[in-house]
Amino acid sequence: MIVAAFATESAMHDAAAELRRVPGCAVETYGATQPQEEGAWSILPLVMLGGGMMGGLGGFGMQAYATTISYPLDIGGRPDFSWPSYIPATFELAVLGAVLAGIFGYFITMRLPCLYDPVDDAVAMRDVMAGGHVVVACTGDMSGVREILARHDPLSIEVVGS
Amino acid sequence: MPPLGRSGGADASDRLAGLSDDELVRQFPRLEGALSHALDRRRTLRLLALALASGGLKGCDPGTPDRGFVSAVRAAEGVVPGVPNIYATAHVRDGYAEGILVTHQMGRPIKVEGNPAHPGSRGGTDVMAQALIHDFYDPDRAIGPLHHGMPASWQDLTGAMQRMRSTVMAPRRPDGTRSGTGLRILTGTVTSPTMGRAIAQIMQAYPGAIWHQWDAIGRKHVRQGGMLAYGQAVSVLPDLTQADVVLALDSDLLDSAPGHLAFARDFAMRRNPVRGTMNRLYAVEATPSLTGVAADHRFIASPVMLDEVIGRLSAGLLQDEAPSGGPEWLGPVMRDLRAHRGRAFIHLGPDHPPEVHATVHAMNEALGGRGRVFDVLEPPEYRTPSPVDDLPTLMEDMEDGRVEALLIVDVNPVHQVPRLAAALRHVPTSITLADRPHETAVATNWHVPLAHGMEDWGDARGHDGTVALIQPQAMPLYGGMNALAALHACVGLPLRPAIDMVRATWRDLLPSQRDWHDALATGVIAGTACRSIDALLQPAASRVASPASFPRSAAQPVLLLRPDPYLWDGRGANNPWLQELPRPLSKVVWDNPLLIPPDLARDMKLRNGDVVTLSQGQARARLPVWIQPGQASGCVVGLLGWGRQHAGATGDDVGTDLYPFRDAPGPLRIEVAKETAIPVACTEHHATIIGTAPSEIARHGTLEQFRGNPAFLAGKQEPDASLYRRPPDGPVAWGMSIDLNACIGCNACVTACQVENNIPVVGRDEVLRQREMHWLRIDRFHEGTPDAPDTFFQPMLCMHCEQAPCETVCPVGATTHDSEGLNVMVYNRCIGTKFCSNNCPYKVRRFNYFAFAQHENRPAISRNPDVSVRTRGVMEKCTFCVQRIAQARIATDRDGVAEQVVTACQAACPTRAISFGDIHDPAAEVTRHKASPLSYAALPEQGTYPRVTYEGRIRNRNPDIGS
Amino acid sequence: MTRGVGMDVDVTQGNDPLIYPQETPASLTERVCVATLRPDGGMWAPMWWWMCLGVALLLVGMGAVSVAWLFYAGLGIWGIDWPVAWGFDILNYVWWIAIASGGTFISALFFLLRAPWRTSLNRLAESLTLCAALCAAIFPILHLGRPQFFYWLFPYPNTMGLWAQFRSPLVWDFFAILAYVTCSILFWYFGLLPDLATLRDRAQRRWQQVFYGVLALGFRGSARQWRHYGPVYGVLAALMAPLVVSVHSIVGMDFAGGAATGWHSTEFPPFFVFGAALSGFAIVLLVLLPLRPALGLEPYVTDRHVDVLGRLLLTSSLCVAYAYVMDVFSTFYGPDQADRTMFAFRLHGLYAPVYWGTIILNIVFPQLLWWRAIRLNPAVVWPICLGVLVGMWLERFQIIVTSLAHTQLVSAWGQYTPTVWEWSLLCGTIGLFLTAFLLLVRFIPMLAMAEMRAMLGDGP
């Protein structure tokens, strides 16, 4: 795989865009800040919605079950199914469910934790989270890709792995 | 179970003679010392036989022919149902018996109830009877003979007695005086015919001996007053059910006079306008008492003023003088008394001199109530053939060396009469017979350990003369001897088992075994009440009283010494239940501060707990003060019975001993001490709040208002509309109604609750930290000014709210409702958030901040096995005696007939103020009381729908007297 | 929410910039990393840090002794009693949880509001939240008579078939704390991921590389990771904001759900939210003012930030003032005589100083913040913040103790005097708070580098 570092974000994007047109070439960019992309879309908010629903409904269901079917008690003459008093716990559990779904959903979709990745062998990767801009391309013929990258005057080009 | 076995006292010594020494030691460990020496074995065995006669060996039940006890008939009202075994006996205080029934669980006495068949109890009990259980199990009781306060062997004791007999009681004395000269026997008031006979026999055997009678808190003046008035010993017995107007002068009628339980019951019967016509009670007193609080009008009078009042009163009633001068209320009161001729009664407290008592008798005769509101009877005290002397003469004789041998039976004069302690030094042989090693026991040469009253055979008369039989409830726990037998043993008279002595006394009245059993079962011997006598009033008595009873001038403060309501003369000092029971009016526990009137506090700038130095003649004391609203200005009140030195682990050095002030000459001086205030433990932690209107909580009004609109107290009611559909009631719905008209605030219910429910005592320091544990407390409210407040009592316990605020906030459901409407507390589930207590508007929940139960100085077997003992960190509260409800439920299932449930507080209440039962049963007393127009719920605005309701207090005020 | 907060405004311009003009992403990264990693290997941590830590650990020790003795001897060692069954335990719990709120308000609420100043503060504020929440979470367990059974509040399967009693505000509270603590930690950690990655790449020493490498979980800043990162962070913020409000409403319901005088009031939930915000902002300012020079944060935390926080403090103080006024109003407008008696006791009873102290410290002093000059003067702002924290503590004392000491029944009135064990426990939690925070200051960047970089954009 070929790893190229660029001075500016725009240069990195141009290079990446051009490489993506190369058939059979997988491209990924790395940067210290969120890349500006139009129409970025993520499934995770929906996952969190689902987690919230589960937490809330589950919480309410648990309370209703506990106080009406499982072990009904006469508490201060209140009705067994005293739903208003279930609401606070229900809300808290809903939020908890959503948050857990979000965080762990993210980890799962991103396959984190992942402490080693072949690209880590590239020296350029060291500067990514400190403001560097890196394009990584994986393809069969190195020469073509190397030309394209070179055209966008990279700071460095290195070949790592096989 | 009471002892069952097949061995008697008579044959005991023979059997013992057959035993080898080590067998003996095995059975009487304390004998080891005695047997190890070369000893007169026979004499020791003889003594042992005494111990046996009083029930010493396992399974030994001296004398009951079939070796069994006969359990009480369960028909009578007030008998607690569903409890294993109940045995009748009596609690004797200063000679006068109060019939009790002792409940046994698995053979151990665990609870005392009143004996409905006994006229002095009528099913009710007082605090001291309730607390008997703790005395019985008290580990500080006497466990063996003492010589000069040091443990001694029985053998030495018998030796000493032998010597005494050889000198004092020698038939032919060297100086030719009669046998027994120099022998003195000091007892308290004796009503017991058997004990009387026993002593009389001694008097016969030793003609030279002299019998002295004395009580620390005596009623000598009352008796002498009767003597003055009627020319012979009498007892005047009021019948309060017949009295329409009662004037109580410094009276102890409702709180401590012999028969006070009966008087309180009769009085209460006429207090609820819904259930009869009210009587009217005027109280004139220097310091508030239960009688004063119960009165419709309470007038504050210092002793000086009281003398004046009595003087003017007698002038008015005996010589029909028009009332002139005196306090403005005197006229109306006198008119009221006159208006109710034949239905008016005047009662005078025991502190006043005999002449005044005589005058009061004369006034009562003049009011023409004899035969209806009061009767003149033979006195219940034992009347001796030979005259009986009292303590002062004894002490003179001692100091003059005329006393060679002194037997002190079951009184503690060394603590109560400082002079005696000194006088004892002149007595060669002094022997104390007592059930605990108290001050006298250690001050005399010898202490012979007696059995506790509940381990003993005996009898005693009640206030009206009715004889109550005393039967042992268990083997002597600490091997004490029987009082009767021990007495005879000391003087070397032939020994007989106590039961035979008692039986012999009543042979003619109870000829057959069956009669005897019935008497034991009911606890009383029918028909033994004193007969009324037609003694005529001595003309001398009718003269107007002009007594200079106390040497006093209005200028200096007067010190009034009263017995502590619970420790009495000091005998209760080692009983933590009594120590920690709030005094009815001051709510003080574990101390006896000097009670001072508010104006004195203002003048001397004293606050509760400030320390003063009290001095009179030789007597000195430093003690904290407590401001007592409604106390006559110029009077300070001290409670006797405190500051004991040999009471036991609990009672030693608690409070201040004020006995030295009793006969101290000279003026009283009170100086503010430099030292910082001593915190006084009190269960009303806001101190005394005056003028905070209890009118909403402890509701009260006058008879006029009631006549105008019976429901005038209904006032604020619960909101009818509730958010919730109330859950349906179960098979029964438990509820309680408390009649504030009947409640006199005597605290018997509080102690009964504590005993029944294993409620721990927490001690002075924890009370100071506001952590007392009483499930049932009696709230006291003052209304008006500190100088003359109106005071109201209100028992406060768990209300078992139908919509209980405590239940909704418990995070683990440790307190919930059951189908019978009980607010149940699940100790094992409680994690101790204390939110329930915060949320309880009535603040009736108590929390175990420490493992209080563990640190109590009482054996585990003394606890009620039906009630779990709570651990550290859990909440507890009144359960409506759920264990009794459960027992009743079981009995009902078994017998098919509905058992009646009686809670501990209800059973103890002498005035029947508490009714409890199924509020759905229209016939139930509680239902009828809840239907009363006076019925109301406390704090209704909280919407808790309590199952406990109150009947508001109505006072029958005299319209001619402005409040 | 494509990029970090506040890209639309240029934060380095204007006469009162949020960030000094000469700062660039590179310089920021450099400065923060050097502060955290200390590559020069110089003194391991600055002197003031060691001194603070020493004091903090002393306090922690004190607290540990207090807790040990509590478990051994039982609740009786505290001053709580029959009428006043809650004291320092609940008081300090409410106080700490309120302090914790500040971080969440700033980092979540103002993230949603797109307030550009928020970016320089959120890491610091959130760290404070964690430490305070930690201290708060201790008390609900310690205040139990039988703490060993605290887990009975969990809905867990047990042989008795028993459940928690869901109608109890304490159970609501339990769930609220559970959710709040968990979510705060996760929210804080999620925002921290990119910075941990940066530190990992910048670390020289081995242990640092391993330490931060593990914590970073392999976040490499790939386009794909970034694409999902933004939306998730946004939704998290959108959840945290209502969560913190609900938590403090529920804490309010612990009392409003009770029947005691002075508790049973519908205004309590918002009242407690106001109070939480007040103490939250106060603690942030209190810590920020000394920390700014100590960590050399001046270029990024400028007077603008102090100014904004000052205004927030003033605003929340006014909200609390409103709540106090409503408290008086509803008491004397309402029908309950007992409430009025209790309030009179509050005003001139045994604990009157507590009430008036509350008013002065929470309401009167903060009014100084109307003047900008004062807002920018640390020498005045700092004492005010300290006063507010004390004032909020007094407020809780006044709500809990004063009310319980004067409930409906005259015969059940009492008082409460804390013992040395309660004081030492309070000190212990303060020490715990300091210790935890000092450790975070040392090992975690107190500036959210990634977001700051986004805000600064690509430097030249």
Q: Is the pLDDT of residue B40 over 50?
A: no
Three-state DSSP class for residue C456: helix
Residues in CB range of B482: below 8 A, 6 or more apart: B50, B53, B54, B55, B450, B451, B456, B457, B498
Work out the pLDDT band at A6, boundaries 50, 70, 90: confident
Cβ atoms C221, A32 nearer than 8 A: yes
| Closest by Cα among B451, B437, B455 to B481 | B451
Which chain A residues are Cβ-neighbours of B719 within 8 angstroms? none
In chain B, which among 747-766 make CB contacts under 8 A with chain C?
766
The reply to whether residue C85 touches residue B847, judged by beta carbons under 8 angstroms, is yes
Render C116-174 in DSSP notation, one character per residue.
GGGGGTHHHHHHHHHHHHHHHHHHHHHTSSSGGGGGGGS----TT-----TTSHHHHHH
Q: Which pLDDT score is estimated for B544?
A: 61
Percent residues over pLDDT 70 in chain B: 87
In chain A, which among 126-145 make CB contacts under 8 A with chain C?
126-131
Q: Tell me the C-alpha distance between C183 and C234, whole Å.
A: 14
Work out the pLDDT band at B181, boundaries 50, 70, 90: confident
Cβ atoms B205, B491 nearer than 8 A: yes
- Measured in degrees and rounded to the nearest 5, phi and psi for residue C280 equal -60, -50
Work out the pLDDT band at B767, boundaries 50, 70, 90: very high
Q: Which pLDDT score is estimated for B61?
A: 42
Work out the pLDDT band at A104, boundaries 50, 70, 90: very high
Q: Name which of A67, A68, A75 to mutate to probe chain B: the one with the most chain B Cβ atoms within 10 A of its Cβ.
A: A75
Q: Is the pLDDT of residue B69 over 70?
A: no
Peptide bond into A113 cis (omega under 30): yes
B802 touches chain A (CB under 8 A): yes
The reply to whether residue C218 touches residue A113, judged by beta carbons under 8 angstroms, is yes
Strand partners, B469: B459
Encoding tokens for residue A151? Answer: 């055209």
Q: Tell me the C-alpha distance between B843 and B400, whole Å.
A: 61
Length of chain A measured in residues: 162
Residue with tokens 């209703």, as numbered in its chain: A64
Q: Kindly compute the dihedral angle of the four CA atoms of residues B113, B118, B120, B122, in this order, to the nearest 10 degrees.
A: 60
Q: Is the pLDDT of residue B5 over 70?
A: no
Q: What is the pLDDT of residues B573-590, one digit of tens each?
A: 999 999 999 999 999 999
Encoding tokens for residue B101? Answer: 């029934």
Q: Which pLDDT score is estimated for B926?
A: 95
Report chain C (460 residues): mean pLDDT per 10 consecutive residues: 44 72 82 83 79 96 97 95 94 95 89 86 93 94 95 91 94 95 95 92 89 92 89 93 95 92 90 95 94 88 91 96 94 87 89 95 96 93 96 95 90 92 97 96 90 68
DSSP single-letter state for residue B27:
H
Which chain A residues are Cβ-neighbours of C4 within 8 angstroms? 33-34
CA closest to A67 among chain B residues: B813
| Closest by Cα among B790, B771, B768 to B781 | B790
The reply to whether residue A130 touches residue C162, judged by beta carbons under 8 angstroms, is no
Which chain C residues are Cβ-neighbours of B584 within 8 angstroms? none
A68 touches chain B (CB under 8 A): no
Amino acid at B472: P
In this prediction, residues B664-679 reach a mean pLDDT of 87
- Who has greater pLDDT, B45 or B477? B477
Q: Is the pLDDT of residue B55 over 50?
A: no
Work out the pLDDT band at B17, boundaries 50, 70, 90: very low
B792 touches chain C (CB under 8 A): no
Encoding tokens for residue B12? Answer: 């005991």
Which chain B residues are Cβ-neighbours of A73 within 8 angstroms? 813, 816-817
Which chain C residues are Cβ-neighbours of B809 within 8 angstroms? 168-170, 257-258
A75 touches chain B (CB under 8 A): yes
In this prediction, residues B935-953 reach a mean pLDDT of 91
Amino acid at B209: A
Q: Is the pLDDT of residue B51 over 90?
A: no
In this prediction, residues B19-30 reach a mean pLDDT of 52
A74 touches chain B (CB under 8 A): yes
Among the partner-chain residues A67, A106, A130, the one whose CB lies closest to the CB of C198 is A130
Q: Tell me the C-alpha distance between B173 and A41, whole Å.
A: 126
Q: Tell me the C-alpha distance between B412 and B435, whole Å.
A: 11
Q: Which pLDDT score is estimated for B19?
A: 52
Q: Which pLDDT score is estimated for B416?
A: 92
Encode B402-433: b = buried (16+ Cβ within 10 Å), e = exposed.
ebbbbbbbbbbbbbbbbbbeebbebbebbbbb
Residues in CB range of A46: below 8 A, 6 or more apart: none
> Which chains sit next to B, with 3 or more Cβ pairs under 8 A?
A, C
In this prediction, residues B261-271 reach a mean pLDDT of 95
The reply to whether residue C410 touches residue B781, judged by beta carbons under 8 angstroms, is yes
Residue B959 CB neighbour total at 10 angstroms: 9
Q: What is the ipTM metric for this complex?
A: 0.92
- Who has greater pLDDT, B941 or A56? A56
The reply to whether residue A102 touches residue C198, judged by beta carbons under 8 angstroms, is no
Average of per-residue pLDDT values in chain B: 86
Work out the pLDDT band at B78, boundaries 50, 70, 90: very low
The reply to whether residue A74 touches residue B808, judged by beta carbons under 8 angstroms, is no
Encoding tokens for residue A129? Answer: 């989270």
Q: Which of A33-37, B190-194, B720-724, C339-343 has the lowest mean pLDDT?
A: B720-724
Q: Is the pLDDT of residue B53 over 80?
A: no
- Measured in degrees and rounded to the nearest 5, phi and psi for residue A12 equal -60, -45
Cβ atoms B529, B378 nearer than 8 A: no
CA closest to A89 among chain C residues: C172
Q: Tell me the C-alpha distance between B896 and B892, whole Å.
A: 5
B492 touches chain A (CB under 8 A): no
Residue with tokens 């200390």, as numbered in its chain: C38
In this prediction, residues B849-855 reach a mean pLDDT of 93
The reply to whether residue B841 touches residue C259, judged by beta carbons under 8 angstroms, is yes
Counted across chains A and C, CB pairs separated by less than 8 A come out at 194
In this prediction, residues B690-717 reach a mean pLDDT of 79
Report chain C's terminal Cα–Cα distance, integer Å: 24
Counted across chains A and B, CB pairs separated by less than 8 A come out at 35
A68 touches chain C (CB under 8 A): no
The pairing of beta strand B846-847 with beta strand B875-876? antiparallel
Cβ atoms B558, B636 nearer than 8 A: yes
Cβ atoms B397, B379 nearer than 8 A: no
Q: What is the pLDDT of residues B419-468, one digit of tens each?
A: 898 899 999 999 999 999 999 999 999 999 999 989 989 999 999 999 99
Three-state DSSP class for residue B789: strand
- Who has greater pLDDT, B475 or B725? B475
The reply to whether residue C144 touches residue B832, judged by beta carbons under 8 angstroms, is yes
Residue with tokens 């709500």, as numbered in its chain: C399
Distance in Å, alpha carbon of A80 to nearest chain B alpha carbon: 10
Q: Which pLDDT score is estimated for C14?
A: 66
In chain B, which among 699-738 make CB contacts under 8 A with chain A?
722, 724-727
Q: Which pLDDT score is estimated for C63?
A: 96
Q: Which pLDDT score is estimated for B884?
A: 92
Q: Which of A74-88, B36-50, B281-295 has the lowest mean pLDDT?
A: B36-50
Three-state DSSP class for residue B282: strand
The reply to whether residue A75 touches residue B727, judged by beta carbons under 8 angstroms, is no
In this prediction, residues B188-201 reach a mean pLDDT of 92
Among the partner-chain residues B835, B846, B942, the one whose CB lies closest to the CB of C82 is B846
In chain B, which among 664-703 make CB contacts under 8 A with chain C?
684-686, 689, 692, 694, 696-697
Q: Is the pLDDT of residue B222 over 50?
A: yes
Render C420-448 in DSSP notation, one character per residue.
HHHHHHHHHHHHHHHHHHHHHHHHS-SS-
Among the partner-chain residues B722, B805, B816, the one whose CB lies closest to the CB of A74 is B816
Q: Which pLDDT score is estimated for B24?
A: 52
A79 touches chain C (CB under 8 A): no
Which chain B residues are Cβ-neighbours of C85 within 8 angstroms? 834-835, 837-838, 847
Distance in Å, alpha carbon of B726 to nearest chain A alpha carbon: 6
Encode B603-633: b = buried (16+ Cβ within 10 Å), e = exposed.
eeebebbbbbebbbeebebebbbbbbbbbbb
